[in-house]
Chain A
């Protein structure tokens, strides 16, 4: 039988966890509850009176074409970011796993982008792709592409996808490399003796064996693309042109602080909150359980 150790009751443990609890209350629980409350309110155009309207804001969102468009755009954006950054990371990790000499240098260099703040990452890409000054539009002109993401919505979307994916590669790379290095060397050697070349070994063994990591990263990247890309979009396109890059988080900001529709904006953030809770549940429920192979 297990014996419980009993400490005399004292204030100390409560004091020790207090900072964490206060931070959570002030910066998470309170704003979240405010958002929920506000999502039930409509303010008049001059901000003089507010009216409690229950779910009217949500009903309006469900029928608002712009909001639904933004939803679809966000899903497209996240899928692209996740696929792009994960496949790039997978390939890089595949190579990094093979080299012996200078491995640490490569690894360090590949991790650097993760330390770049989202706004700075955005700024970098804005400079590189500036239609009048940037190096890439200049080069693209040679192959007949007229790059102007200030006017062309698809190009703007492409640009934010690249910027967001690029920043996430480092993170994915770390996890993939760790997963690959935990595969026993002899297994890969056995495959080599069985006649599998490097590509075939990657496809038949390494990729299936890192599948738990792939699933984990899929959730992480979806959460990242949904919620952490505000800075990049704000720096690169401000949601434009013509809302072409307005994903859900950006729309929350835009409708609330630019459009001053506080109730509608709060309703959107409540929906986002529900989404992030759902994704976290998925992650905890399924990622912990190893993917079956």
Chain B
């Protein structure tokens, strides 16, 4: 077990800087999810921790040791790849034992550890099969098994669930979480799926374009997104953004409607309201011209535009709701659920 420290990490390919001064402290036993859209540098960051990419500048520390120059083998890490990267010419047992064999661990001990991992992951019956004789979910388990037999200080996961079907993904997600809690190994998990990120991580690092947008617990990210990007990325359906003018504690929307709760903000701002925080209210200040409804069963998504403007608004209402297109619905939102951002910098305006 070990903590991981990222200090001022930079990665460049030729003249292109893909990671810009990333900092982060990961505590021993924590489950960290790095999340962001494609090409944001999240896999690169993970591969730098693994030692598969060189560090241009900055420092990576595992425990107390600076590992910048260490070979992947010497970092005491295990990694689960997106395509599992199982050795196709070896049986499941050999796949799992390979790392131990290289580290010259005794036969009996290898056998014991493989058996133990196989029991945890319930892959005992497949130990003598070749990877190609296994289903996707089973391969996924073998890849995890190969990681846990080594008993490493750090687990690295590179989008390990993206090749599975939706149902299996949900199931494996829970299993990974349980396994990590049981073993208590510091883990870094890369994904582009914000639901996966929210459910798995103790803390989330949101990356965008090589910058860390925010690093915090899922609830912090949900309740107090630091930037417009995080606000839009976390939560489903994503947050509504309404241009507004702030002054004297009030927010004036594009159509002249006024809301309380601007805090200290003034001037032109972007107001963020999550769809689930819009409460129906006949006399509410946010008046939406309804375009269509999406019935999800447990709740209904109301799509429309802010009356008199072109700004899209989505509201998520509990239960079944319906009305004719063109109807005007009134909404209100509690002041604590209003997020005010500076449109120029994209940063949150602190209350």
Which stretch of A61-69, A102-110, A189-197, A233-241 is in the interface? A189-197
A184, A190, A204 interface centre (most CB from chain B within 10 Å): A190
Taking CB atoms and an 8 Å cut-off, the chain A residues in 168-207 that contact chain B are: 184, 186-187, 189-197, 200, 204-205
Contact check: which of A195, A196, A293 meets B88 at CB < 8 Å? A293
Seed contacts A190-B146, A192-B51, A194-B150; 5 additional CB < 8 Å A-B pairs: A190-B81, A194-B102, A195-B102, A205-B89, A209-B89
Q: How far is the CB of A246 from chain B (nearest CB, A)?
A: 42
Interface digits, B74-94 against A, CB 8 Å rule (1 contact, 0 not)? 000111011101111100000
Taking CB atoms and an 8 Å cut-off, the chain A residues in 90-126 that contact chain B are: none
Interface digits, A278-293 against B, CB 8 Å rule (1 contact, 0 not)? 0000000000000001
When distances are taken between beta carbons in the complex, the residues of chain A under 8 Å from B52 are: 189, 192-193
The answer to whether A196 and B73 touch across the interface, beta carbons within 8 angstroms, is: yes
Asked if A208 lies at the interface with its beta carbon under 8 angstroms from chain B, I say: yes
A193 CA / B87 CA spacing, docked (Å)? 13
Asked if B331 lies at the interface with its beta carbon under 8 angstroms from chain A, I say: no
The answer to whether A184 and B85 touch across the interface, beta carbons within 8 angstroms, is: yes
If A209-B88, A293-B88 touch, whether A190 touches B79 (CB-CB below 8 Å) is: yes
A158 CA / B193 CA spacing, docked (Å)? 63
The answer to whether A184 and B72 touch across the interface, beta carbons within 8 angstroms, is: no
When distances are taken between beta carbons in the complex, the residues of chain B under 8 Å from A191 are: 87, 98
The answer to whether A189 and B87 touch across the interface, beta carbons within 8 angstroms, is: no
A204 CA / B146 CA spacing, docked (Å)? 16
Contact check: which of B72, B82, B83, B102 meets A200 at CB < 8 Å? B102
A191 CA / B89 CA spacing, docked (Å)? 13
When distances are taken between beta carbons in the complex, the residues of chain B under 8 Å from A192 are: 51-52, 71-73
Which 7 A-B residue pairs are closest in the complex by CB-CB distance? A194-B99, A293-B89, A195-B73, A190-B85, A186-B85, A195-B102, A186-B81
Closest to B102 in A: A195
The answer to whether B73 and A194 touch across the interface, beta carbons within 8 angstroms, is: yes
Q: How far is the CB of B335 from chain A (nearest CB, A)?
A: 49
Q: How far is the CB of A293 from chain B (nearest CB, A)?
A: 4
A3 CA / B103 CA spacing, docked (Å)? 61
When distances are taken between beta carbons in the complex, the residues of chain A under 8 Å from B71 are: 192
The chain B residues found within 8 Å of chain A, CB to CB, are: 50-52, 71-73, 77-79, 81-83, 85-89, 98-99, 102-103, 130, 146, 150
A254 CA / B85 CA spacing, docked (Å)? 56
When distances are taken between beta carbons in the complex, the residues of chain A under 8 Å from B102 are: 194-196, 200
Closest to A200 in B: B102
When distances are taken between beta carbons in the complex, the residues of chain B under 8 Å from A204 are: 87, 98
A192 CA / B71 CA spacing, docked (Å)? 8
* A/B interface sample: 18 pairs, CB < 8 A: A186-B81, A186-B85, A187-B87, A190-B79, A193-B73, A193-B77, A193-B78, A193-B99, A196-B73, A196-B102, A200-B102, A204-B87, A204-B98, A205-B87, A205-B89, A208-B89, A209-B89, A293-B130
When distances are taken between beta carbons in the complex, the residues of chain B under 8 Å from A208 are: 89
B52, B78, B86, B103 interface centre (most CB from chain A within 10 Å): B52
If A186-B83, A200-B102 touch, whether A193 touches B88 (CB-CB below 8 Å) is: no
When distances are taken between beta carbons in the complex, the residues of chain B under 8 Å from A209 are: 88-89
A191 CA / B88 CA spacing, docked (Å)? 12
The answer to whether A195 and B87 touch across the interface, beta carbons within 8 angstroms, is: no
A195 CA / B72 CA spacing, docked (Å)? 7
The answer to whether B87 and A184 touch across the interface, beta carbons within 8 angstroms, is: no
A208 CA / B130 CA spacing, docked (Å)? 14
Q: How far is the CB of B131 from chain A (nearest CB, A)?
A: 11
The answer to whether A187 and B103 touch across the interface, beta carbons within 8 angstroms, is: no
A200 CA / B71 CA spacing, docked (Å)? 14
When distances are taken between beta carbons in the complex, the residues of chain B under 8 Å from A189 are: 50, 52, 72, 79, 81, 85
Q: How far is the CB of B199 from chain A (nearest CB, A)?
A: 25
Q: How far is the CB of A177 from chain B (nearest CB, A)?
A: 20
Contact check: which of A187, A195, A293 meets B99 at CB < 8 Å? A195
When distances are taken between beta carbons in the complex, the residues of chain A under 8 Å from B83 are: 184, 186
Q: How far is the CB of B209 from chain A (nearest CB, A)?
A: 25
When distances are taken between beta carbons in the complex, the residues of chain B under 8 Å from A196 are: 73, 98, 102
When distances are taken between beta carbons in the complex, the residues of chain B under 8 Å from A205 are: 87, 89
Q: How far is the CB of B188 from chain A (nearest CB, A)?
A: 14
The answer to whether B89 and A193 touch across the interface, beta carbons within 8 angstroms, is: no
When distances are taken between beta carbons in the complex, the residues of chain B under 8 Å from A293 are: 88-89, 130
The answer to whether A193 and B98 touch across the interface, beta carbons within 8 angstroms, is: no
The answer to whether B103 and A193 touch across the interface, beta carbons within 8 angstroms, is: no
A197 CA / B86 CA spacing, docked (Å)? 17
When distances are taken between beta carbons in the complex, the residues of chain B under 8 Å from A200 are: 102
When distances are taken between beta carbons in the complex, the residues of chain B under 8 Å from A186 are: 81-83, 85
The answer to whether B73 and A187 touch across the interface, beta carbons within 8 angstroms, is: no
When distances are taken between beta carbons in the complex, the residues of chain A under 8 Å from B85 are: 184, 186-187, 189-190
Interface digits, A41-73 against B, CB 8 Å rule (1 contact, 0 not)? 000000000000000000000000000000000
When distances are taken between beta carbons in the complex, the residues of chain A under 8 Å from B86 are: 187, 190
When distances are taken between beta carbons in the complex, the residues of chain A under 8 Å from B89 are: 205, 208-209, 293
A193, A194, A196 interface centre (most CB from chain B within 10 Å): A193
A193 CA / B130 CA spacing, docked (Å)? 21
Closest to A205 in B: B87
A195 CA / B70 CA spacing, docked (Å)? 12
When distances are taken between beta carbons in the complex, the residues of chain B under 8 Å from A195 are: 73, 99, 102-103
A205 CA / B87 CA spacing, docked (Å)? 7
